Structure 1
Amino acid sequence: MAVTISDIAKKAGVSQATVSRVLNNSGYVKQETREKILKIIKELNYTPSAIARSLSTNKTNTIGVIVPDINNPFFGEIIKGISEVADKHNLNIILCDTDERMEKELKALQLLKEQRIQGIIITPTSVEDEFNSEYLNTLENLGIPIVLVDGHVKYSTFNGVFVDNIKGAYEGVEAFIKAGHRKIAIITGRMNSKPAKDRLIGYKKALARNHIPIDEKYIFYGDYKQESGYDFTKHILKMEDRPTAIFVCSNMMTLGCIKALYEEKLSIPEDIAIIGFDRVDVLNIVGMNISFIDGPTIEMGRIGMEMLINALKNKKNRMINKITLIPKLVLKGSENYIKQ
């Protein structure tokens, strides 16, 4: 039979409230009484219920993490960074996956609220360029610290950690240009998200600064999913005046792009050059040397968690903190221009 606070109180000859104060380290208890209770707790091998404790203290040692696609290794690395810091501070994590659906995100927020979590780290599904007052109110009315990771909420004042997507895309496209390419296609991410918009800005900026006209027929609007990378690459390969290089704006779309090239029995970069945004570890495993923009994903998770911990410690003196990390261009040869 499970040991209860009542059992401990009876054996110690004190009230249940006194035992509760010792367990929660709150309120005054004589040192002699405290030591006696702790000794009995150890003897009875008592483990306090996290649920019961949350009901009595109105909070838990748990934080919520909400991501749009748990199957994407990009978010897996962010979660790894969050977990590393959370473990050091004895914090538990409840992880929610929204499948990039607003209704699932709102459901996740309600679930986390019911769990009395201390704070939330979230990559929002919200449409960045549209103001959604109901969504913003939902977040603000939670009454707990919120940290954004690689995603924005318009008009919000939440802390956040982001990547300089303009710089990353600019350097990737410029690497193509330095290799000799002039006809460079781009497969963008979902264009209602700021990262996708910024990567397109970086692409156009690199072309303009190198006096290369921007050709709309080489711009393909994807959605971060593998299928869009695959479909657009198939389309690109059928173009009469097809590009010599493709800048792919997400890891999953890069996989789709490579799948399409493999099916057409084309070689990289002999037939067409590729640079992807974000690392794809599986490509290294199979020996494919694909150049990429390396976003510091694990570091984003660590910094986001540290931001949340600081916010929890300084609730009264809240300062808005937004950090932008610089991605790194990793060239492995797939950007080269092999003239036919």
Structure 2
Amino acid sequence: MVSMQDIANKAGVSRVTVSRVLSNHPSVKAETRQKVLHWVRELDYEPNLIAQSLAGNRTNIIGLLVPEIAYPFFSEIIEAIENQAFYEGYSVIICNTHRSLDKEKNILAQLRQRKVDGVIAVPVSAQHSLPAYQRLQVPAVMITKRMEGFSSVYISHFDGGQQIARHFLNMGFQKIGYIGPTRESTSALKYAGFQQYLAASQISLSDVIECPAPENMNASLVCQLVKQYAANSGLHCEAYLANDDITACEAITAFRELGYAVPQDIAIAGFDNSFLAKEISPKLTALAQPLDEIGKKSVEILLDQINNSAEPCMYELESRVIARESTIRFVQTGHKTLERAT
């Protein structure tokens, strides 16, 4: 069985240094840490985690709370967080809140009992979830939403909505609509940015098809709601912004069942740029959130707080429109060329 001393001999450091690396002690230089971790992996060393946690008051475990693990947007962020945490020597406990304040509160209590070193979370509500996170007593980083008093990694959904509106106008669309929730926190921001940018160009939304967020429901309900709206009011738009990629995919299904072709009859854009955007036919134009960067940055900030007691910070990442087949009918001259992906 490989011992801690074996790792020390191979890395050319003391046994104490190996112990400090394995417990993520902040005093170890980055170069030394990487050298030790290399030999840990090379020799397939299995540390006694229980002994380490008792000695260093660390468990090397991070709690991760998301609304729905299977939701493509969150599954990609989860993978990025888990990969980065593993690289740094941490394990991740992944928890579904299903957007329930009560469940979120209970999960946080359980994580506190398990003595996790920190938490990364998509809070159910930036306002109503606050007391539960304040009671956590370990560092926490919020992703996709800002929360007062806590580090947060996010994009501007308001700006994202504006970017899609700009893309639609650059493509020459005049009759424009929206599909998705309009009051839920991040959805409300993207809807407001989208609506206000169009209003500045004297364009009002022709259709607003209200749908719950897909992680709250069976995604196929979007298809039903779009067809129901079409039957009751008719579809009046050349282009629609969908709240997210799943909503866009379900809307495309509805359009086809109603006899409309995308993008020849109706164009549509999603929001997130998850793997669905590249898999569906036609490929989906989407506001690209930097999902991998969100995951990596949240781990980086959390470990800085765990190891160095860093102050909470707000970290806003950039987003951009990736134009694909679902909105590209023709190229208008005189307009700025947007990044295009296949």
Distance 2:46 2:307 in 1: 27
Helix, strand or coil at the partner of 2:94: strand
Cα-Cα RMSD:
2.7
Which residue does the alignment assign to 1:313? 307
Distance 1:247 1:274 in 2: 6
Helix, strand or coil at the partner of 1:121: strand
Q: Which has the larger radius of gyration?
A: 1
Helix, strand or coil at the partner of 1:85: helix
Which residue does the alignment assign to 2:199? 208
Helix, strand or coil at the partner of 2:273: coil
Which residue does the alignment assign to 1:302? 296
Helix, strand or coil at the partner of 1:319: coil
Amino acid at match of 2:149: T
Which residue does the alignment assign to 1:101? 100
Gaps of 5+ in 1: 1-20, 27-44
Question: Which residues in structure 2 correspond to 1:61-210 (within 5 Å)?
Answer: 61-126=60-125, 128=126, 131-132=127-128, 135-153=129-147, 156-189=148-181, 191-193=183-185, 195-210=186-201
Establish whether residue 327 from structure 1 lines up as the match of residue 319 from structure 2: yes
Helix, strand or coil at the partner of 1:87: helix
Establish whether residue 288 from structure 1 lines up as the match of residue 287 from structure 2: no
Q: Please, which of 200, 222, 227 is the counterpart of residue 211 of structure 2?
A: 222
Helix, strand or coil at the partner of 1:262: helix
Distance 2:243 2:321 in 1: 13
Gaps of 5+ in 2: 1-15, 24-43, 331-342
Q: For structure 1, which segment, 260-269 or 139-148, has the greater mean C-alpha deviation from structure 2 after superposition? A: 260-269
Distance 1:236 1:326 in 2: 34
Q: Please, which of 266, 285, 290 is the counterpart of residue 260 of structure 2?
A: 266
Deviations 1:94-135 (A, max 9, x none): 111112222221121112111111000000112x4xx43xx4
Distance 2:290 2:18 in 1: 40
Distance 2:325 2:279 in 1: 16
Amino acid at match of 2:279: I
Q: 1:228 to 1:173 in 2, by over 3 A?
A: farther
Deviations 1:186-243 (A, max 9, x none): 12336232x112101111122112111355xx22332221245323321343334622
Distance 2:17 2:168 in 1: 64
Distance 2:122 2:77 in 1: 10
Post-superposition shift, 1:61?
Answer: 0.7
Q: State the TM-score, normalized to the length of structure 2.
A: 0.76
Deviations 1:270-325 (A, max 9, x none): 1211011122424533542221111111110111110001111222xx42211111
Contact 1:248–1:276, Cα closer than 8 Å, also in 2: yes
Amino acid at match of 1:311: Q
Helix, strand or coil at the partner of 2:173: coil
Helix, strand or coil at the partner of 1:81: helix
Q: 1:22 to 1:304 in 2, by over 3 A?
A: closer
Question: Which residues in structure 2 correspond to 1:14-29 (within 5 Å)?
Answer: none
Amino acid at match of 2:301: M
Q: State the TM-score, normalized to the length of structure 1.
A: 0.76
Amino acid at match of 1:289: K
Amino acid at match of 1:232: L
Deviations 1:39-74 (A, max 9, x none): xxxxxx996653454356443011111110101111
Distance 2:226 2:84 in 1: 39
Q: 1:197 to 1:282 in 2, by over 3 A?
A: closer
Which residue does the alignment assign to 1:35? none
Amino acid at match of 2:177: A
Q: 1:257 to 1:328 in 2, by over 3 A?
A: same
Contact 2:209–2:226, Cα closer than 8 Å, also in 1: no
Identity across the alignment (%) = 25
Distance 1:228 1:207 in 2: 28
Structure 1 runs of 4+ off > 6 angstroms? Answer: 21-26
Q: Please, which of 228, 241, 245 is the counterpart of residue 235 of structure 1?
A: 228
